[in-house]
Structure 1
Amino acid sequence: MEDEYVINGVDKFRSASLSELPKEIVELLQMSDESSKKECIEHSNSRSILGRK
């Protein structure tokens, strides 16, 4: 039930306008938009880190 609560919360954020989102999330989104690709970390997953298929 806890996972479902989290998933529903994330889904609400997806459909919300910026004015409806919590201030902290809006700030993080703005910081992300202002970051250059050089400052970003490439996405990876545990399988690629461990070299497994």
Structure 2
Amino acid sequence: MENNESNDLGITKVLEAVDALRLILVSVTGSEQIDEFLIHVEGNTTHFRC
């Protein structure tokens, strides 16, 4: 299990990559942009939840 510091670093890296690539999350049921979401990073896998 990773400590909070390494998890925070993983989350920061994911958010930087999302911003650098200018990615946005869009709802599956429509075309609404999702501005607020949770990120879960585990190893090389990232899950987004809104």
Interval containing the TM-score (normalised by the shorter chain): 0.3 to 0.5
More strand by share: 2
Structure with the bigger RCO (C-alpha within 8 Å, sep 6+) is 2
Larger Rg: 1
Using the size of structure 2 for normalisation, the TM-score is: 0.38
More helix by share: 1
Using the size of structure 1 for normalisation, the TM-score is: 0.36
